[in-house]
Chains A and B, each alone.
Chain A
Amino acid sequence: MTEVIATNETILVVGGGISGMTAALEAAETGKKVVLVEKRPYVGGRVTQLYKYFPKLCHPTCGLEINQRRAKMNPNLTIITMAEVTDIKGEAGNYTATVKIAPRYINDNCTGCGNCGKAVEAEFDDEYNYGMGKRKGAYLPHRMAMPQQYVIDPAIIGSDDAQKAKDACKVNAVDLDMQEETIEFNAGAVVWATGWQPYDANKIQPYGYDRFENVITSVEFERLADPTGPTGGKILRPSDGKEVKNVAFIQCAGSRDKNHLLHCSRICCMASLKQCTYPADDVDISVYYIDIRAIDRFEDFYQKVKAQDNVKFIKSKVASIVKGEDDSPVLHGVDTEGYNRYANQHDLVVLAVGMEPSVDKESFPVDIVINEEGFIEPASENGGIFAAGCSSDALDVNRAVQHATGAALRAVQVINRVAGTEG
């Protein structure tokens, strides 16, 4: 049974991505008690799935390591993974949260040795790699996962595989009888940091993401470039595993579009520019764009990529994609600089998909103001619930961290008021 000691001077942080972690750590480091609830089996969120950050092209593992260390060292912070907030009742200074925790089937004895993973035979699509590549039925979600504990896929529970995992464990960490549990605890303020998800590319019908293997999304491309990814860092075509010699990026795939996401997702231009630096020099790159929005004064980054000999910018929103010879996608459209009609074939097409807020308007556990784009508004009606990071707007990591720090301060203010009235 998971036990959480919490009072109405506790801050609940929902979501353990870079924003949630930041808010939780900043608040905990002011001395407040914080409970962080994360849906995945590990914290760090989508940042863990990035190969490099813009503009410095450094690796997110570095910043992640610092945050994980801060989390381990702080006694004020309790992290609950594989858990979802299903209900919040009350008002600022006095909330009761209901949290549903899925069974991990692995307890805290786990040392991350990997014996269970070796013993299990069943394989599943690896969600960490967006379904590209496989993982075992007992698995460590990724190398830097925190907590550094294995997870047993519920699909193998009751099978021989599950028993094999249990038998292989030398530290008695496999608990196949673990059940889903629901807990309730108090909180004075809530930081909502459920982040974002890549816009469902299947909905952009003319681009054929659901029909063409060599049309992928920007988040998938990130995994292809990562040495720990499914191709060991080689950019290979999904259809035949051949090396990509000619790649196209399509900007605003699902963003700034009344048929899809209304808002500009802001990060996609910089993300694609960053991804232009991933392939080798002899790979031809074409970027199809409406206009380049190099946010946060990164115009110089754009200019640098523009100066790369192998990169070409085509001012046009691609109208449609059809399959050409050798499963290569052919892009159709008309460019705005000259109104020339084109049909360009590429080995691989990357859709720079938009940021969709992971804020479920229909079943949000408490009354809150959500705007037409699906983000949480900074409204006084929200009481002691503060959005952090991408649940408030489409933000890059840098801005999400700044925003989360602000949200933590708001939450701390509520707790201080509670402490004042009580003390």
Chain B
Amino acid sequence: MSRSIALLICLVGGLTMLVSPFLPMATGWANDVTDWFNILAAMAFVLGGGSLLKVQLMRLSARGPGWGYSAVTLLAFAVTLWVGLGKVGVVADPSAPMVPWSGKPDDEGSAFWWIYLYVMTPITSTLFAVLAFYVASAAFRAFRAKNLEATLLLATAFVILLGRTFAGVVLTGWLPDWASGLRLENLAVTIMDVFNTAGNRAIIIGIALGVASTGIRLLLGLDRSYLGGDA
């Protein structure tokens, strides 16, 4: 019974979203469905937070390997929750200056804003920066000329790398105008605009059809594995 209700909700929600771009009268319905989803996601967030707390507390009480990380996680969780819900350091909104909590929790100057700007952002930026090294190691492995395809990949990568840097201009800038298409910077543009775009579009068309097919399977209830299958 509960599975049938879930399938019905999926069908109604899916069809509403499907017709909304085509029927102007359905735009409001689609917004309603999106709002319901957001409400559900917000409610589920409590479950997520509960799961996080439970797992970290269990690890902490068991004193298993890495329990110190769990302690840090729990402390960070508690502090951020406290400053966010308590609106610590929030300045009153100009529209309601008599109400000290009328500002938003992430307004400039609040403790939550401070944590985000001076703790969260630097950590995130650091991890993002590490990507440069991962790209280098992945490229080193991928560009080994083991066979014809890998050799072509390597050659193409070299053209793009050189064409996107000043080295490309220095190396092939002497080519006359009638052969300007062979200059590395122009070759790089041709590869990206013609070969890369063509390949990308082929994949995107396949993805669009795959999404349509998956959507139909879900709407018709053929594929129920996301609901826990047929069991």
Same assembly? no
